Amino acid sequence: MATPVLRPDTIEVPVVSQPAGRVPQRSNARSNRARILATARQELGRNPDVTLEEIARASGVVRRTLFGHFPGRAALLDALAEEAAEALQAAVAVGARGTEPAERALAHFSLSLWPVGDRYRMLLALARRDLGAERVAGILAPARVRATAIVERGQRDGVFHSQLPAPVLSAGLEALTVALLEEVNSGALADDGTRVAVTTLIAAGVAEERARLVVDEVAADGVAVDGVATASDTPVD
């Protein structure tokens, strides 16, 4: 008997279905990477010398998985720095209030940036040793440009003191914020950003009572201290 010839369009190919609840590998990889970075922020904050193996264990992944995403310590810190830079740029956009009085603009700016600084404050301990001054300067550049513009406007309007040139005063305010973040690292300070914002305005030359009032008004307007803009927070160039 002749063997029947099967045409290609008559051949049925069995369909292999994914087991119920199975997550695609790419999704798992993204989830693992995010979890490793989040854990690294916490562990590096506790101990800047923590090893990658310790971070892997704390993340709940095997050593091979961590090294698949980050071949070494430098790669992990670079990813954290990139993450911090993106978060800082977003916060600068939220805090960009070019049309309101300078004292309110500086309060918006401080409240918007503090949560980012708080989240990535562990990078302060690693800045000079691991990241390098040039990389840190690149991360901070958008915030520095914005802060200097606000200070310049405040000095022109007579809201901020003019004892120092705007770039120098802006650098001083940045140093103050960094110092306060280091106090958070040491456990000496806990703040949601409001006291730091008041202190920043006072350092810029605003009277204490006025500084408190401005920060309270800005916070009430909906600038979230967790770094998320509300519907009314429309960035202005």
**CATH placement of domain 73-237:** 1.10.357
Q: Do domains 25-71 and 73-237 have the same CATH topology?
A: no
Residue 1 clears pLDDT 70, i.e. is over it: no
pTM over 0.85: no
- Give the pLDDT of residue 22: 42
* Average pLDDT taken over every residue of the chain: 82
> What residue ranges do the domains of the chain occupy?
25-71, 73-237
H-type alpha helices, the chain: 25-46, 52-59, 63-69, 73-94, 102-119, 122-126, 133-156, 166-186, 194-204, 208-220
Whole-angstrom Cα distance, residue 117 to residue 124?
Answer: 9
Least confident residue range of 14-18, 91-95, 116-120, 221-225 = 14-18
| Residue 54's pLDDT band (cuts 50, 70, 90) | very high
Residue 20 clears pLDDT 80, i.e. is over it: no
Identify the residue with better confidence: 179 or 233.
179
Q: Which CATH class is domain 25-71?
A: mainly alpha
Angle value at C-alpha 104, between 98 and 109, nearest 5 degrees: 70
Dihedral of the alpha carbons of 23, 82, 79, 55, in degrees to the nearest 10:
-90
